[in-house]
Amino acid sequence: MAKSTTITKVKTPITGEFQWVTITGEGKENLSGKMQYVATVAFDPKEPAWAKLIADVDGFWNDNRPKKIKEPKSTGFYPEMRKTAETDEDGEAIKEATGRMLLAFKTGVAWPDGSPTIVKTYNSKGKEVALGQTKIGNGSIGSVAGAYDIYLTTSKQGAVVDAGVTFYLNAIQIIKLVEFSDDAGFDAVDGDDEGWTGDEGWEGEGVEEKEAPKAGPRL
């Protein structure tokens, strides 16, 4: 018989590698159209600290799973995949497992009362810091603090269709920062003194001139 669910606090090991972190601004839209802040951590499941976390979550599921649901749809952990040079019959790249696992955290961008959600950030000394315009890029190393709990998917009649474990995002500790940049990474071409620069009042051939938009709040 399933016990009552209890939200359980969690802090991941500091060896996690961050991927696709979005914790400021408008957030990221999920499949249901809800805006969320997200952080994914890649890790080696053979590391003792990570193996213990996986075991703890498995135990939590077994103690709190809904009646008649034996296997979780997801426990929050899934294998990291990478593209290979081979393609399938549709021309899509065939993927293979890297051997690492991924764990995804998420939280809504606002509380039920409408106040904004703040995902706090900390440095390697455990001191809270403000990132400002700095964004956490892929390859950064650190830890995520949050919580996990049972989630349910129900039918229109209220019957439980499936269930699993979901992870909520509260804060991030950055041990090593790789700053995200929008720069495409192009270098100057040496020896091309006549190359295009966009200087000297270039207007843009074939581009219709429009009045610049007035500054205003972003909706």
Q: Is 8-84+93-176 a domain of CATH 3.40.630.10?
A: no
Token readout for 9 is 């606090």
Q: What is the pLDDT of residues 105-117, one digit of tens each?
A: 999 999 888 899 9
pLDDT for the residue numbered 56: 97
What are the C-alpha distances in Å from 124 to residues 39, 50, 127?
18, 19, 7
Token readout for 99 is 């051997």
Query: Taking a C-beta distance cutoff of 8 angstroms, is the pair 96, 87 a contact?
Result: no
Query: Taking a C-beta distance cutoff of 8 angstroms, is the pair 166, 202 a contact?
Result: no
pLDDT for the residue numbered 60: 95
pTM of the model: 0.77
pLDDT for the residue numbered 4: 47
Return the domain boundaries, the chain. 8-84+93-176
pLDDT for the residue numbered 140: 96
Q: What is the pLDDT of residues 72-95, one digit of tens each?
A: 999 999 999 999 999 898 889 999
Length of the chain in terms of residues written: 219
Please choose, from the candidates 167, 172, 169, the residue with its C-alpha nearest in 3D space to the C-alpha of residue 126.
172
Q: Residue 125 — φ and ψ, nearest 5°?
A: -90, 0
pLDDT for the residue numbered 197: 59
pLDDT for the residue numbered 184: 54
Q: Residue 49 — φ and ψ, nearest 5°?
A: -65, -40
Intervals of the chain under pLDDT 50: 1-4, 206-207, 212-219
pLDDT for the residue numbered 5: 56
What are the C-alpha distances in Å from 195 to residues 19, 84, 138, 188, 190?
37, 37, 34, 10, 10
